Structure 1
Amino acid sequence: MRMKRLLSATIVAAAGIVLAGIPGLAPAQAYPTKTVTIINPFAAGGSLDVMARLLAEQMTQSLGQPVVVENRPGAGSTIGTALVARARPDGYTLLITAANIVSAPALGAPVNYDWKKDFAPVTKLGNIAQALAVPEDLPAKTMKEFVALAKSTPGGLSVGSLGPGSGGHINGKRLEQVTGVALTDIPFKGMAETMTALAGGHIQLAFGNLPEVLTYQRGGRVRPIAIAMPTRSELAPGVPTMAESGYASVAIVPWYGVLAPAGTPPDVVAKLQRSFVAALAHPAVVGRLKEMAITPIGSSQDEFRRELEAEHAMYVKIGKELGVSFK
């Protein structure tokens, strides 16, 4: 009997060693045991970057291990996104991103990842208010004045975006379709770079995150002429919405979310989802997000998955309607 007990204990111990060595099988109660890295596929300094670092600070406390943010910008966010798609599915490398992850492939942009097969949705973090902004010295104070100026300018005007399939790029294409203006898309690695170019007059239009737009407005360098949201923002109550300006069908509401590599253990993904949602609800984070015009959501994994599928379908439809394709 004693021999049987010893043999059983030996088998159990050996099985534990084997299972512990298999990627992704560490139990959630033991997770994390080391630093968790959140990859931001956009340049530092934008609203997504600020939000990621706010959440990482709170999650460091709740998870008991360092949570850090690493920027890997480039190629319309596809470089950082592909890095996470190939990462070990153990919960230690995550992706914080925007609609580009589904919009770019929906429009046929060359990407080296499959958003359906390579990722496990964690949570949709929130929606962010954007404003259509122009340089302060551009002689256009309203949408109608901007459209008139663009139509009268040989070759049209330029619009900054975060690359093919980004919200700014699609909004620019929608604006072209609705108004008949010609806009040249200029891609940037992040919102901070976009706003710097706009403030310097290197581009004439950008769908910028409202807080950045207002910061540059206070410095006398840019002017918001419309809010790309269904309702006006309390941060800029004097700026009309796109609908009020006569262009209701132009704006798409941008969002931020988190995904893990496909194959990450479900209990680890669930623990991460709870941690992100708790961080979103922290008073310090709530107050800062309000200042950034970000509406926190903290969806379930399934809710986020359904939203990603709906967004992808929407961008496929938009691509066909606008004749936009990068194939």
Structure 2
Amino acid sequence: MVLHFILLLITTYFLGLSRSQLQVGFYDTTCPNAEAIVAGVVRDAAASDPNTAPVLLRLHFHDCFVEGCEGSILIDNGLETDERRAFGHQGVGGFEIIERAKSQLEAECPGTVSCADIVALAARDAVVVAKGPFYDVETGRRDGVVSNITLADGMPDVGESVLSLKDKFFQKGLNEKDLVLLSAAHTIGTAACFFMGQRLYTFPAEGGSDPSINPVLLPELKSTCPQNGDVNARLPIDRGSAETFDAQILQNIRSGFAVLQSDASLYQDEATRSVVDSYFVPFGPSFEADFGSSMVRMGRIGALTGTQGTIRRTCAAAFK
């Protein structure tokens, strides 16, 4: 407990340093069209591929949870040791969209807007195109240059217990409320059957299916993901509302209709369960406003600012 408290103090200190230098409208003078350019690229991408929004939202999360929000997940040295090839980053994409936005920004404001900031802005714009809330994004991040697959070993995983997830979020300076809200990003997008096998057929201590799965949902999941079936087949994560950013994912968690084990586990812990329930009481908090706040807090994790890091000219290249 003492160690956790010390870790929290250290994390809070560094988050405070980042927060003091990150600010909304950082590029208002140096590249006034920066946010509009990123938003335009995201809208164009989403118009041709409906999977754009969840992909970009997930990219921001995966970037921030490894060494902080500094764009290292974008680096591609063509090596098996590159961070982006980590097991925990399976299925992460959107790299070409970030590179497209970077190219346009370099044409307008050379060497000014970091790849890390593009990822953060693109995630917000992805939420908006999915009919979710607009929230102000703090900018001023600079890019890291280190890409190492081993640094991603601590990524949160869909098969982890809620206690493990809480601990990983705590180490990043985030709390139970942030865990619930950032997990609620699963309101859009799909998951591969690869991540469902254990929950459906070999759940620990049960020898069968996870008993927390609603009996109505279980045959639906098994139909899409039969045992020994195609592990690459995909299913909506938010049953009944997979293409719209809303609080339906939390209602699904409450009623046993959570598709992912990590989402279901949020209702098996007193602290996270109370957060989930708080969004369904009269005059309760705003899910949309709170989600935006949690995204902003996540966006401060390990941010490089001031003279730290660099501004990469090409997001896939560490030193260009």
Higher helix share: 2
Greater C-alpha Rg: 1
Task: Give TM-score scaled by structure 1 length.
Answer: 0.23
